[in-house]
Amino acid sequence: KEADAAENMINLSDEYSEKIANALKEKIDTLHSIVGKMNDLQSELIISISNGDEGSDEEIDNLIKEMNELIDSVKDYD
């Protein structure tokens, strides 16, 4: 959705606009933040699985839950 919105903003603009440039920057920053959080959660998940410590099942379940919540929030993001 965000990429489509950004593309529409560019296509509908006749010339450079500071307002559009700022809106695009905000959208890109948001997407970078989401990707960064997802990468962090993936790294934590990999470490938890590879350690195989006691209680790691609960930790893995929590990480998967966080990832699902992040994915759901991205789906709802406009």
Residue 78: predicted pLDDT: 56
Checking if the pLDDT of 75 tops 80, the result is no
Q: What is the pLDDT of residues 20-60, one digit of tens each?
A: 888 888 888 888 888 898 899 888 888 878 877 656 778 88
Please report the pLDDT score of residue 55 as a whole number.
Answer: 61
pLDDT band at 17 (very low <50, low <70, confident <90, very high): confident
Report the pLDDT value the prediction gives residue 53, as an integer from 0 to 100.
63
Choose among 67, 73, 70, 77: nearest CA to 6: 77
Closest CA to 31 of 56, 63, 68, 4: 4
* pTM reported for the whole predicted model: 0.62
Tokens linked to 19: 């307002």
Q: Are 66 and 48 in contact (CB under 8 A)?
A: no
Please report where in the chains the tokens 């998967």 appear, as a residue.
64
Residues with Cβ within 8 Å of 51's Cβ and at least 6 positions away in sequence, in order, are: none
Token output for 52: 């195989």
